[in-house]
Amino acid sequence: MELTVAQKLETLLKLQSIDSQLDELRKLRGDLPDEVRDLEDEVIGFETRIGKFKREIETLEVELNGYRAGKKEAEKLIQKYKDQQMNVRNNREYDAIAKELELQELEIQLADKRTRETEFKIKNKNTEISDVESAMANRKKDLEQKRKELDVLVAESQEDEKKLTVSRDKAATNVEERLVNAYNRIRGNAENGLAVVMVKRGACGGCFNIVPPQRQADIKDKKKIIVCEHCGRILADVDAIEIVRR
């Protein structure tokens, strides 16, 4: 059942009209869908930062354990050297052990210093985490609010949207896929979502450039599908009333 060009154009016009109504419905939702998406991205960003801080804290804690273990080791050595010192046979041995003891005392001081520094870093990271967490809590509140608003708007128009989508799909199956694809492509590129337009007052209804009289006659003939040479939109017909008014 091959449609005539006139029938195809009629179907495309119908498709356009439904799609324009769908566009209007979605426009009612305004910037809300974008706002919700932005807030969702922001929350994910916060979560990523918190995750990064937590991993950094884990690394710092490993370092901290290392310093504490090092200190314990030095304390053990000190105890050992002190025992040895009791049993030295001469001054030379005593001095050698005293040097070792001094070295281990320094090790302990160094470990204590690094422990303090690392604990300070961990404390700062935890502060950063709670800052980010409270900022995130605020954003989550905003997000919840916006989601609710959007849900209400969507619920209001959902029924209409469903009906329109059903008739849109039905209309689309009546024309060959190639043509529907072309229609979708033109619509996707058009800022106003118009892929099929009428010639009005001698001009393309999409880009308002003049359509020459001979071309207008061809469009009215509906022997083939003609597109605007300026914007590529499909020119379905010439608005007769407008012509008469001229």
Count of residues touching Zn ion (by CB under 5 A): 7
**Starting at the edge strand that comes first in sequence, how are the strands of the sheet with 203-204 ordered?**
203-204, 196-200, 234-238
CB-nearer residue toward Zn ion: 121 or 215: 215
Among 118, 206, 237, 238, binds Zn ion (CB under 5 A): 206
Of the candidates 178, 139, 153, which has an alpha carbon nearest to the alpha carbon of residue 40?
139
What gap in Å lies between CA 205 and CA 194, rounded to an integer? 9
In angstroms, how far is CA 191 from the centroid of its own chain?
22
Residue 25 sits in the site that holds Zn ion (CB under 5 A) = no
Among 22, 78, 207, 243, binds Zn ion (CB under 5 A): 207
Among 57, 129, 231, 238, binds Zn ion (CB under 5 A): 231
CB of 216 to Zn ion, least distance (A): 13
E-assigned strand segments in 106-232? 196-200, 203-204
Part in contact with Zn ion (CB under 5 A); list of ranges 29-37, 151-159, 170-178, 200-208: 200-208
CB-nearer residue toward Zn ion: 36 or 228: 228
CB-nearer residue toward Zn ion: 57 or 206: 206
CB of 33 to Zn ion, least distance (A): 29
Task: Identify residue 59 by its one-letter amino acid code.
Answer: T
Residue 204 sits in the site that holds Zn ion (CB under 5 A) = yes
CB of 14 to Zn ion, least distance (A): 20
Residue 228 sits in the site that holds Zn ion (CB under 5 A) = yes
Taking the CA atoms of 237, 240, 241 and 244 in sequence, report the sign of the dihedral they define. positive
Residue 129 sits in the site that holds Zn ion (CB under 5 A) = no
In angstroms, how far is CA 39 from the centroid of its own chain?
9
DSSP 8-state secondary structure symbol assigned to residue 227:
B
Among 49, 121, 220, 230, binds Zn ion (CB under 5 A): 230
CB of 38 to Zn ion, least distance (A): 34
- Rg value, the chain, Cα: 39
What gap in Å lies between CA 239 and CA 224, rounded to an integer? 18
Q: What angle do CA 126, 129, 133 make, to 5 degrees?
A: 140
Task: Identify residue 23 by its one-letter amino acid code.
Answer: D
- Residues numbered 45 to 104 that lie near Zn ion (CB under 5 A) are none
Residue 205 sits in the site that holds Zn ion (CB under 5 A) = no
CB of 22 to Zn ion, least distance (A): 22
The footprint of Zn ion (CB under 5 A) covers 204, 206-207, 228, 230-231, 233
